Structures are given as C-alpha cells and as structure tokens.
C-alpha cells in the first residue's frame, strides 16, 4: 500500500525566494524602481530545505508521496495587482517543479493560481495549463476568496468560475479549495479563515447546482472539511429544507475531505460520519500547527498515526491512504502506474 499525502506545501522554501517576494512587495510601493527578478536558487539549497524537513518527516512517519504545492499563506492574492500575482505565482510554481524534478519519487506538483481580486478567473487558465501540460502537475489550489478575508468574489457555484472549471475538466485535474493569508484582523489565517473557507465552500456547493453542470468536476476541501463533518446533521437538514437532493448524490460525488484534523477524536468522527470513499489522507506537515501535542508526545500534524489507530480493515485504510487519491487525481494514478505502482 502506498501512503499518499494529498496536502503538503513548500513552507520551508529557501530564504532567497521570500527575499524576492519582499523585494516584489517593496516594488509595488516604488514602481519607478527596476522590477525585481525571481531568486536564483541552487539545487543544493532546495535539497537542504527538503531533506531536513518534508523528506525527513515523510520517512520518519512512513509516507511515500506528497502532493506538493507552494506555501498557501504566502499566495496572498490580495497583495498588489494581477501582474504581481502572475509573477509571484510563476516563481512559486517553478520552485515546486524543481522539487519534483529532484525528488520525482517523493513529490508531485500542484499549482498555485495567479488570482487577483476583481480579476476574471479565466486569467488563471494559462498558468493552470502550463503547470499541468508542461510541468507535469496534477492539480491546483483554488482560492475562493482572493481578497484575503473580505469575500468579494462570487460564490464558487457562480458562472464567474465556469471558464476555469471547463479547463479543469478538460485537463482532468481536481482543485483543493484553499484560501491564503487573511488581511482582515477578524480572521486568524489558519485558525479561522481557513476553516471558515472550507465550511463556506461546502455550503455553497450545497446551495447551488454546480455538479449538474460539471458532473466530473472534483474538489478537495482541506482541513477535514472544516466544520462540516462535525455538523453533518445540520448540512443534511439544510439540504432537505432547501429542497436539495440528498448530499450523497448532490455534493459528495464531487467533493472530498482530507485528514488534516490534528487529534484522534476528530479523525474518529470524520470516518464515522463521512463515507470512506470521500476521505483522502493529508497532513499539511510543517504547516499550520507544527508543535508536539503534550497529551500524546507526538506532533499534532503526524496525522498518519490517527488513521493507523482506527479500527478499520486494511482495505479501508488503503482507500484513505492510496485508492481515493488515485481516483481523485487521475494524473497521479497515471504516473504511479507508469512506475509499476
């Protein structure tokens, strides 16, 4: 059985990459100065940052492959204009490509999108296509709120998003719904904004009819589906009140949750409430919560332990660790099959 972690970010990217971003942000305020260029980063710097963090933890914790994307909180689509977002996004995705080239057995790429508040999502199609067709990426992170906590974009079920969905379907890639940093002080980025966005996206899908128009469109809602599994009765009840079909056929053929829930009782609830075919193993390691749980002595984000501890058959665990990810990411399945896996 392969252990596929569907949720990893390059949170430990070389400092020169962030220094480029800092120069880029400074340039927004001083547009007369020469535009900064993305950092020149050596392979050794990438090796150093990966081998001392994500790769080391993969081995320690017993995972095989991480679906790897740029640091989500740093996407910051609300910073600068569209051209700033385009340049930053391209640099971030190119860095992920370098990681996947250096460690093709351990990492497979998912791209950031050059979204920008008020800009049509169609402007992100070219970068998605480049990343999938040229760089070999298998999916993308789609930000439902590029304004960074002010929610100025239409709901995900709005036709605004349709041109992008058409391309996702054509390329047969899923999107992880993933917000970025919060510039609204009401919402802590990882503690409130992320979980709000996960829950909000699910409710939008419930209210809408998106999957009637796109029956093969697939989304991963991370962080265990936000508040949704815990409140599953509320959502089933709302579907009924709003005269929507049962969630199993209305939403859950197209929407999947990861296991980035950082304690055993939360994972126990997730697998009790949500169909196992809708759960993908994920850890978001070296991410939002990096400490050790004093009650267990283990890292909060060592989520494989929680799955291992479940009273499920080996076949059921294989669905969570491998099978579901191969189904949701067909381009990953093709890569693995080509490797005889």
- In the complex with Zn ion, the residue whose CB is nearer, 68 or 306, is 68
- Mark the segment that binds Zn ion (CB under 5 A) among 196-204, 277-285, 300-308, 325-333: 277-285
Shortest Å, Cβ 7 to Zn ion = 6
Sequence-distant (6+) residues with CB within 8 A of 306 are 259, 261, 263, 264, 266, 267
Other Cβ atoms within 10 Å of 7 Cβ, number: 28
- Mark the segment that binds Zn ion (CB under 5 A) among 80-88, 121-129, 182-190, 280-288: 280-288
| Candidates 134, 284, 315, 322; catalytic one | 284
Shortest Å, Cβ 157 to Zn ion = 22
- In the complex with Zn ion, the residue whose CB is nearer, 143 or 157, is 143
- In the complex with Zn ion, the residue whose CB is nearer, 68 or 211, is 68
**Residue among 191, 306, 205 nearest 259 (CA):** 306
Contact track, Zn ion, 234-273, x by CB under 5 A: ----------------------------------------
Shortest Å, Cβ 147 to Zn ion = 18
| Residues 284-303 interacting with Zn ion (rule: CB under 5 A) | 284
Mark 243-262 as b/e (b = at least 16 C-beta within 10 Å).
ebeebeebbbbbbbbbbbbb
Query: Is there binding between residue 96 and Zn ion (CB under 5 A)?
Result: no
The answer to whether the CB of 9 falls within 8 A of the CB of 181 is no
Total of chain residues touching Zn ion, rule CB under 5 A: 2
The answer to whether the CB of 60 falls within 8 A of the CB of 98 is no
- Mark the segment that binds Zn ion (CB under 5 A) among 31-39, 70-78, 101-109, 237-245: 70-78
Catalytic site includes residue 82: no
Please tell me the distance from the alpha carbon of residue 222 to that of residue 88, in angstroms, as a whole number: 23
Name the helix (H) or strand (E) containing 129. Answer: helix 125-129
Please tell me the distance from the alpha carbon of residue 190 to that of residue 180, in angstroms, as a whole number: 9
Shortest Å, Cβ 223 to Zn ion = 8
- In the complex with Zn ion, the residue whose CB is nearer, 73 or 324, is 73
**Residue among 33, 39, 55 nearest 99 (CA):** 55
- Mark the segment that binds Zn ion (CB under 5 A) among 119-127, 183-191, 226-234, 281-289: 281-289
- In the complex with Zn ion, the residue whose CB is nearer, 17 or 71, is 71
Please tell me the distance from the alpha carbon of residue 156 to that of residue 135, in angstroms, as a whole number: 26
Please tell me the distance from the alpha carbon of residue 322 to that of residue 313, in angstroms, as a whole number: 14
| Residue 205 phi, psi dihedral angles, 5° rounding | -65, -40
- In the complex with Zn ion, the residue whose CB is nearer, 189 or 239, is 189
- Mark the segment that binds Zn ion (CB under 5 A) among 32-40, 75-83, 207-215, 279-287: 279-287
Please tell me the distance from the alpha carbon of residue 86 to that of residue 108, in angstroms, as a whole number: 22
Shortest Å, Cβ 296 to Zn ion = 22
The answer to whether the CB of 39 falls within 8 A of the CB of 16 is yes
- In the complex with Zn ion, the residue whose CB is nearer, 70 or 229, is 70
Shortest Å, Cβ 66 to Zn ion = 12
| Residue 294 phi, psi dihedral angles, 5° rounding | -65, -20
Query: Is there binding between residue 72 and Zn ion (CB under 5 A)?
Result: yes
Query: Is there binding between residue 75 and Zn ion (CB under 5 A)?
Result: no
As annotated, the active-site residues are: 284
Binding site for Zn ion (CB under 5 A): 72, 284
């Amino acid at each position: 059985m392969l252990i596929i972690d569907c949720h990893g970010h390059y949170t430990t990217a070389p400092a020169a990459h962030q220094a480029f971003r800092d120069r880029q942000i400074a340039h927004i305020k001083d547009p007369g100065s020469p535009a900064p260029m993305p950092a020149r980063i050596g392979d050794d710097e990438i090796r150093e940052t990966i081998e001392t963090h994500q790769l080391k933890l993969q081995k320690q914790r017993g995972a095989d492959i991480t679906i790897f994307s740029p640091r989500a909180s740093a996407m910051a689509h609300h910073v600068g204009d569209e051209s700033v977002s385009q340049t930053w996004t391209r640099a971030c995705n190119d860095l992920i490509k370098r990681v996947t080239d250096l460690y093709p057995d351990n990492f497979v790429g998912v791209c950031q999108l050059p979204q920008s508040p008020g800009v049509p999502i169609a402007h992100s199609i070219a970068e998605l296509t480049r990343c999938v067709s040229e760089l070999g990426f298998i999916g993308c992170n789609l930000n439902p709120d590029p304004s960074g906590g002010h929610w100025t974009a239409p709901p995900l079920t709005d036709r605004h998003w349709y041109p992008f969905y058409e391309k996702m379907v054509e390329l047969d890639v899923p999107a992880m719904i993933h917000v970025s940093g919060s510039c609204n002080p009401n919402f802590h980025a990882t503690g409130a904004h992320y979980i709000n966005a996960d829950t909000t996206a699910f409710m939008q899908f419930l209210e809408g009819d998106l999957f009637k128009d796109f029956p093969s469109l697939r989304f991963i809602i991370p962080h265990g589906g936000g508040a949704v599994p815990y409140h599953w009765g509320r959502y089933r009840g709302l579907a009924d009140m709003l005269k929507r079909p049962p969630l199993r056929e209305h939403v859950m053929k197209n929407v999947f949750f990861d296991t980035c829930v950082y304690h055993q009782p939360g994972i126990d609830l997730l697998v009790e409430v949500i169909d196992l075919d809708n759960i993908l193993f994920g850890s978001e390691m070296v991410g939002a919560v990096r400490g050790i749980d004093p009650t267990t002595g283990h890292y909060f984000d060592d989520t494989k332990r929680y799955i291992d501890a479940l009273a499920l058959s080996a076949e059921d665990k294989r669905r969570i660790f491998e099978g579901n990810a191969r189904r949701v990411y067909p381009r990953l399945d093709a890569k693995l099959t080509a490797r005889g896996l």
